[in-house]
Each structure stands twice: as C-alpha cells, then as structure tokens.
Amino acid sequence: MASKIETSPEMVQNVYKKTAERLAVVRNRLNRPLTLAEKILFGHLDDPQNQELVRGESFLLLRPDRVAMQDATAQMALLQFMLAGKDEAAVPSTVHCDHLIQAYKGKDVDMTVSNTANKEVFDFLATTSSRYNIGFWKPGAGIIHQVILENYAFPGGLMIGTDSHTPNAGGLGMCAVGVGGSDASDVMVGLPWEVKNPKLIGVHLKGKLTGWASAKDVILKLCGMLTVKGGTDKIVEYFGEGTTSISCTGKATITNMGAELGATCSVFPYDDRMAAYLKSTGRDELSKVADGHKELLSADADVVANPGKYFDEVYEIDLSVLEPHLVGPHSPDIARPISALKKEAAEKGYTIKISSALIGSCTNSSYEDIGRAAFVAKQAMDIGVKMNQPFLVSPGSTQIQKTIERDGQMTTFNEVGATVLANACGPCIGQWKRDDIKTGEKNTIVTSFNRNFRARNDANPETLAFIGSPEIVMALGLAGRLDFNPATDELEGPKGKVKLQAPVAPELPAKGFIPDTEGYQKPAGAQAQVAVSPTSERLQLLSPFTKWDGKDFVDNLVLAKAKGKCTTDHISPGGKWLNYRGHLDNISNNMLLGADNAFTGEIGKGKNLLTGETAEFAQVARAYQKANKGWVIIGDENYGEGSSREHAAMSPRFLGATAVVTKSFARIHETNLKKQGVLALTFVNPKDYDKIQEEDHVSLVDLKDLAPGKPVKMNIKHKDGSSESIELKHTYNAEQLKWFRAGSALNLIRGF
C-alpha cells in the first residue's frame, strides 16, 4: 500500500506525461506562451478541452496529485471523508501531527504531556489513516510543510493541504495550495478540486543576496509592497536570474509566507538548487525525472523576456541591494528595513527590550537557516554573550534535528541558551505557554515565524511580535534590543565588543541528512479499526447539515458586525480550542470570540435581541437557533484571512448562520463557507456596511432565482420602523450553487 502514498519516480513520470498531454490541448486553444503556474494548473485540468480559462473569472476543475493534512484540521477532514463511505483515499494522502503539541518546558517534557493529553485524537488520526490507506506521521516527527518538502513535494506537481502554509512546497517547484477540510475530503473521495482561475503576479528577482540579507527578506519586503490582501485569488510566480541564487529551502521560505499575501500559492521554476535538495534528501531518481522534463517546469522563454504581456501584475526586487527586514507588530505586512526600525520604534513607543527570541517553524528551520543563526551565535559567545531572555528553538523535523545534532549546530544553540522545543508548530500557532509574561503585559518578541496577528503566538494581545530571518532574530536576541542593527552596531560583552560578521552557512549537509526512520506509520488497510468514543469530549462523528428548504431568509437577526481585521483566528481561535478540532459542537463555543463588535467595541460578545442581554456570540447564536431564528454575520474587508481552518465556517453553519455578508473575503474562508452551505455574499457598495444596525432585521429574497453573476437583494428593517434595500454580489458558479441548495458540498456528494 505504501507505494501508493510515496512520491515515486513512476508517479512523477506519469504526472509529467498527463501534464504534457493536457498542455498540448490548452496550447492549441490559447495559442500563446505559458507561465509556469499556468503549465502546472492547466496540466492538471479535469477537462482541458472544454473548461473555460478566463483568468480571475472561470472556475477550474483540477486533479491534484496529493493531499496533506495536519492534526488540527485533519480531524474534521477525515470525519467528513468518512461520511462518503469510501474504502481508501483516491489520491496519495498524508496526516502530520504537529499542531497539538504545546511549547512549554522543552521537547522531552512537552512530548510526554502532549502524547498523554491528546492520546484519543492521535489514536483516531492513526487508526483512521491506517484504515483508509493514508500515510501517518507521528507526533514529534516534524511540521507538516517541512516533512512534505523532505519527502513528498516534487517539481511541477499540484497538491492541496489543510493548512494555509501548504504553499511551502512551491520552493520545490510545486503548486501547493492551502484549502479547507471539505476540499481535501472531496479530492480524497475522487472528485476534482475547484478553484477560481487565479490571476498571476510575476516577481522578477535580480542580482544576488549579500551580507545579512536572506531569502526571508524577499518575502518580508514583498509583504510590505503588496499587503495581506495583495495576493488574494492570485498566484505569485518568481522568475529571473535571481531565483537560481537562492537555495531550495530559501525558496520554500518565500513561498511559505506567500500565504501572508493571501495568495493562492507561490512557485519557483525548477533549477539545480532544487535538484541538489532532492538528491540530498534521498530522491536522486526524482531529480533525474525532472531533469528530463524541464520544459514543463519553468515559464516559456517569452514570458521571462516580456513578463508584462503575460502576468497581471509585475514587480521587481533587486536582491543585491535588499536589506534585512522586520515586519510587525500585529500584521505581517507592516514592513521596514531593519535600518529604519530604531527611529520608528522611538516614534511609536515600541517596547525596546526583547522578552523572547524564537527561531524555527515551518518557515525557517532548514539546515541553512540553523547554520546561519549558529554562525552568529558563535561570534557572540566569543565575547561572552549569551541570551539574557528565553530563546526557543523549534526544529522543523526529526531529520533536521538529528542532522544538526550530528553536525554541531544544536550544541551551539544549547550553549548560547536555547530551550529546544518539539519538532512541531508550537509558539508559531499559539501553542506557547508562557510563565514570564502575564496577559495584558506589554512586551516585545522577535521570531522567524510567518504570522504575528495580535495574540497569535502567546494569547497576549499586548505582545508586540516582529518577524525576521533566523539570523536577525539571533542577533537581536543576543543584543536584547529591538533597535539593534547587526550590520552597523557593535555587540558588547564581558570579553569585549564585536561587529558581527554577516552569516554564512552551507545550504545542505556535507554528510547528507539523517532520515527519520521511526516517525512514519504505514497503513494497514480495511482491517484497521477506527477509534472514536461516543462519549468523547474531543471527537464527534458528523451528521449531515440540513438541506435548504427553498425559501428566502426572512427577518434574520444580525448576530455580529465585525469591525476591522477579522481573521480565522478571530472567528475560531486556537490555543485551548485546538483540543476540540474534532468535536464540532464543543469547538463552536469559540465562535467569534476574537471579533471586534462594531456596535459596542467589545471583543467576542454581542447583544441577544430576544432577551436584551449581552453574551458571547456563540451563546447568542445558540439562543437564536433554539428560537428558530435565522441570523447573519456582517464582516469588514478581507474577512476570514489567515489560517485555513474550516471550523471558522463550520461553526457558524452548525449554530444556524444563513449568510455571511462582507466588504470582501479572503479566498479560503469564502470557499469554506460555500462548502458548508452558508451564503457568502459581499456588498456591491462597500459603504452599505455602515447601514447595518445592531437591532436590524434583514431578509435575503428571491433566493430561488439565485444564479451565477446575479445580485442578491437584501431588505433591511431598522428598529425605528424605516426600511431600505441594498444589493449584494457573490462568486458562486453553477456547481457551487448546488452545494448551497443541497445544504453543503458533502451532502451533494452523498446524494443527500
């Protein structure tokens, strides 16, 4: 069975064969050069002859090569898959246990605690994976994206994953897209995956990185240029001579954080650095197959020569003059070069003293990353400087951990003051238990992670989180100050001063990687028994959602009007709630706990219009549901940005939401709402958001005539007796409207 899960040379050869066949059809239709992203997408079309290919408008039906799931989102994805009644996953699929491991005392203690606390969830994931022929990576084996890069990613492939940083695999030339669990279960059932044909952003990389600048600084600068909304429904494709100067894992860092742009995914063309990584990770045969199909793995020549003709937007970054950057606080698009931070910090009153420095995560835990950070640490220790505040290290995988233990970088980290955490997400996703800072206490941390939303890392809204490269985090952590610039300032210690040299380190280990021989469980097949207790507080078998009754939504109440940034972290917080990712009823109690109430300014609470009392939004929703009153959520710009967690869509559906109406949606969340049968609508006139009042009754009418491109009418009745009507728009196509009418996409699959 394992041969169906592995990315074998035979599998890749077959992917390239089908890609070439489909592209021959598409080239005949389009009669123009193709970008790399187009080659991969169109090379995976379910019907290359007849599908519409209008960029930014058409919906593509695609056949992914792989599915990847992490433990927090895999629970719901597998529970949905089980409803379909299939015997095994239709495409190679894997589950990775990396989210449910708390970062606190260090690897050994934290793993013991996690394995005990999460035993029933891990047992469910292990037994379900075994039963349905899905590869299973045990707790502590590594972060999903690092393990995928090391074992499964391949140039020219198409993968979907139930985590928003799935695009990490773009560093190995793959179009890898973060999706909700419903999309994953659909593909595992054997259905094509549907996505809006993305627009294309071309990023021309010139020159070569020098000094303290790293691959991380490429994406931090781009986040500042494009903002967290700049990549929505778009693919970022890198091209130009600068791409070959960046290591494969450096490319993965860049594509990983493309998620912070809201991008569908990001991708680099295949080159010798990717081939070297494949060989170093024991996949020499894959590199040979890729070498024989280079025409499929890069953009056509005229695209590179005349990018303005083929991309919807084109940007240029000169690597040779790029400075190290830091982004934050509270958003990954607040970017500036480190040379500008000292002045800004003084002007804005940022806390200068650093309370913790954190290195690792799926974004920056490669051999090269660790080596560059260790290079900096050694210089500091030469003058007697060590970390004066907590220094936490999250290796990306057991393979990385064992290799840096052998080669000495881990010894350097331990000597400089590191607490080495489990090979898991930990603080990056909010699984960080802090004893040094109280909630509400202002402090500053520096990390090499990817996200820094308010309260994201440690649940403290007053923590200012700044993101940089591992070497910059190391330097700032050693200095203990946010306003330290290692390129110009001297580091002082008991044994003197030193102006730190710019870091250098090999991108790959000279002795090769030490593979993880214990972290993977092979599936057993149909004889495996799935473990779910009917009395579990953490796992709950699903029942289908109710089918739409064909009637308009009349006199619905406004449960919540969210003001400003409302990410999936705000809609369905993590932290302690990760314990309930497999129990829809229990996790729904966290719905909108982080949302800013536009009517009152209160966080996570709203007015129950039936009683006049104020309560948490989930409890108000349950009261409305009990009274058989439909309700809606009103959202601001880019509603639902951030993590791919489908619970942010399933919980509203479970608690009785009929629609979510916003100024605009983040891509994954909009799709998740559609999949679960919640109407996802946007204001035709964004200013109509201001018309919605706390005690309004709203009606969505003529829904029986709902059709692609046809506006939806909302009638609003205000408390004072006045009324008005506004227009809403949507992006549903004919197939997605079937999801709505059936009550959910899964209902349609089951013929419910």
Helices in 500-644 by DSSP H: which ranges?
568-571, 584-587, 617-626
φ, ψ of residue 23 in degrees (nearest 5) = -65, -30
Please pick, among 65, 71, 98, 110, the residue that the annotation labels catalytic.
Answer: 98
**Inter-residue contact 681 to 660 (CB < 8 Å):** yes
List residues bridging with 314 in a β-sheet: 202
Looking up tokens 């994206």 gives 145
Structure tokens at 506: 């090999």
651 belongs to the catalytic site: no
Strands 553-561 and 631-635: parallel
CA 385 to chain centre: 36
Alpha-carbon span 110 to 101, nearest angstrom: 7
CA 412 to chain centre: 31
Alpha-carbon span 747 to 182, nearest angstrom: 11
Please pick, among 645, 647, 653, 667, the residue that the annotation labels catalytic.
Answer: 645
298 in helix, strand or coil?
coil
Looking up tokens 């999309």 gives 183
3 belongs to the catalytic site: no
Alpha-carbon span 276 to 270, nearest angstrom: 11
Give every strand in the sheet of 391-394, ordered side by side: 335-337, 325-327, 463-467, 443-447, 354-360, 391-394, 418-420
Estimate the crossing angle of helix 284-291 against helix 9-30, to 10 degrees.
20
163 belongs to the catalytic site: yes
Give the 3-state secondary structure percentages of the chain, helix then strand then coil, rounded to 5: 40, 20, 40
How many residues comprise the chain? 752
Alpha-carbon span 105 to 544, nearest angstrom: 41
Alpha-carbon span 80 to 453, nearest angstrom: 30
- For 79-105, the three-class secondary structure string (H helix, E strand, C coil) is HHHHHCCCCCCCCCEEEECCCCCCECC
Please pick, among 643, 644, 651, 744, the residue that the annotation labels catalytic.
Answer: 643
The one-letter code for the residue type at 438 is K
Strands 614-616 and 605-607: antiparallel
Please pick, among 451, 456, 581, 667, the residue that the annotation labels catalytic.
Answer: 451
98 belongs to the catalytic site: yes
Asked if residue 92 has a cis previous peptide bond (ω within 30° of 0), the answer is: no
Alpha-carbon span 4 to 7, nearest angstrom: 8
- Residues whose CB falls within 8 Å of the CB of residue 420, separated by 6 or more in sequence, listed in order: 106, 107, 393, 395, 410, 413, 414
669 belongs to the catalytic site: no
99 belongs to the catalytic site: yes
Looking up tokens 């730190």 gives 500
Closest by CA position to 263, among listed 201, 173, 195, 340: 201
- Residues whose CB falls within 8 Å of the CB of residue 3, separated by 6 or more in sequence, listed in order: none
346 in helix, strand or coil?
helix
Closest by CA position to 650, among listed 162, 187, 248, 189: 162
Burial 376-388 (b: 16+ CB within 10 A, else e): bbebbbebebebe
Residue 495's CB: how many other CB atoms inside 10 A?
11
Please pick, among 99, 325, 456, 669, the residue that the annotation labels catalytic.
Answer: 99
Please pick, among 71, 163, 271, 696, the residue that the annotation labels catalytic.
Answer: 163
CA 235 to chain centre: 14
User: Which of the 8 DSSP states describes residue 293?
Assistant: T
Active site residues: 98-99, 163, 451, 643, 645
